[in-house]
Structure 1
Amino acid sequence: MDLILVRHGDSEAAPGLCVGHTDVPLSSEGFLAIQRLAAHWQGDAPRFLFTSDLRRAQQSAQVFAARFATEPLADPRLRELHFGDWDGRRWDAIVNEDANHYRHWADNWVIQEAPGGESFSDVMRRTGAWLAALLGSTQDNDGVFAVAHAGSIRALLCHALALPPARAFSLQLGYARASRIRYRLGQFEVSYTNASRFEDD
């Protein structure tokens, strides 16, 4: 199986806003960036096109759906990390107004959930369940495409690379960038990450 992971385009969220499950749309520049990425696609359409069910991912996936002539399959397991009570608030306000909770979370983000939200380990579990289900329903030569978020894509790459979750932020993932994972003979191989265009073999 070849799995292409694309981070959605930039959204209309204000700079400095905590955006996890906050359901913001793509910005005009984010939409254009996704269109530019989609224009580089070569070859056959993938067997499946998945997307997070959050709007910024779904709007990005629709651009690829038009190119592939298929319908995207929305799955909440591909959502961004849920920041709970902090979602939709400014980070500087969170740091100032909820300092104790923020410091504890910042020091233990892998296993510590945001108040009312989830930890990165929670994201690892749900994306891992999605990936396991995918491996159980695809063949070696199948192509799969998924539009998701920085957090969920980092979690999937941690699974593929057997990378400790604490190293997740060593993986750079820009908006409207693509990563490619291959699964052959029971093993994962990461072909590329954070690419501004789809790379050939």
Structure 2
Amino acid sequence: MDVILVRHGEADCAPGLCIGRTDAPLSAIGFTAIQRLAAEWQGNSPRFLFSSDLRRAQQSAQVFAARFATEPLSDPRLREVDLGEWDGQRWDTIAANDGARYRHWADNWVIQEAPGGESFADVVRRTGSWLSALLGNTNSDDCVLAVAHAGSIRALLCHAFGLPPAKAFTLQVDYARASRIRYRNGQFEVSYLNASRFEAD
């Protein structure tokens, strides 16, 4: 099975905002970038098209849905990390007004939840649940496309490669970029990461 993970296009919000679960739409630039990426698709349509249930991911997935004449399957397990009370605020405001909790979270983000939110370990668990269900319901020659977020994609890649969650930020996951992993004989291998186009085998 091939799993292609696409990060949504740039969201329409001010720079410096914390937008984990904040449901921002795509910007015009983000929409154009996703259209450009979708135009690079090669080969047969994926068997399944999944999307996070947040708007910026769903709008991105709809671009692919139009290309493949299908409907995306929405799954909240693919959401971005929930940053709780901080979601929708500016990061510099959070650091200034909630400094102690912010510093504690920044030093322990793998296991420490944001106030009223979740930790990266929580994201690893819920994306792992999605991946396990996928492996149990697909065939070896299937291709699956999932449109998600930087946090959830990093968590899935940590699962696939046995990477410690603390190393997640060594993986670059840019807007409107694709990563492809392949599951064969009980293990994952990487085909490409953070690519601006879908590469052929």
| TM-score, normalised relative to structure 1 | 1.00
What's the counterpart of residue 127 of structure 2?
A: 127
Q: What is the deviation of 1:61?
A: 0.1
Between the aligned partners of 1:136 and 1:76, the Cα distance in structure 2 is 19
Q: What is the deviation of 1:13?
A: 1.4
Q: Once the two structures are aligned, what percentage of the paired residues are identical?
A: 77
Q: SS at 2:13's partner residue?
A: coil
What's the counterpart of residue 70 of structure 1?
A: 70
Between the aligned partners of 2:12 and 2:32, the Cα distance in structure 1 is 13
What's the counterpart of residue 172 of structure 1?
A: 172
User: Are 2:42 and 2:199, in contact at CA under 8 Å, matched by a contact in 1?
Assistant: no
Between the aligned partners of 2:100 and 2:13, the Cα distance in structure 1 is 26
Q: What is the deviation of 1:190?
A: 1.2
Does 1:103 pair with 2:103? yes
Displaced runs of 4+ in structure 1, greater than 4 A?
none
What's the counterpart of residue 40 of structure 1?
A: 40
Between the aligned partners of 2:164 and 2:152, the Cα distance in structure 1 is 15
Between the aligned partners of 2:149 and 2:34, the Cα distance in structure 1 is 13
Deviations 1:118-161 (A, max 9, x none): 00000000000000000000010001000000000000000011
What's the counterpart of residue 54 of structure 1?
A: 54
Between the aligned partners of 1:2 and 1:69, the Cα distance in structure 2 is 20
What's the counterpart of residue 3 of structure 1?
A: 3
What's the counterpart of residue 80 of structure 2?
A: 80
Deviations 1:26-72 (A, max 9, x none): 00000000000000001110000000000000000000000111100
Q: SS at 2:35's partner residue?
A: helix
What's the counterpart of residue 29 of structure 2?
A: 29
Deviations 1:79-127 (A, max 9, x none): 0000000000000000000000000000000000000000000000000
What's the counterpart of residue 116 of structure 1?
A: 116
Between the aligned partners of 2:165 and 2:192, the Cα distance in structure 1 is 19
Gaps (5+ residues) in structure 1? none
Q: Which amino acid aligns with 2:111?
A: I
Does 1:12 pair with 2:40? no
User: Are 2:2 and 2:182, in contact at CA under 8 Å, matched by a contact in 1?
Assistant: yes
Between the aligned partners of 2:190 and 2:102, the Cα distance in structure 1 is 33
Gaps (5+ residues) in structure 2? none
Between the aligned partners of 1:82 and 1:13, the Cα distance in structure 2 is 17
Between the aligned partners of 2:13 and 2:171, the Cα distance in structure 1 is 23
Between the aligned partners of 2:23 and 2:194, the Cα distance in structure 1 is 23
Q: Which amino acid aligns with 1:116?
A: G
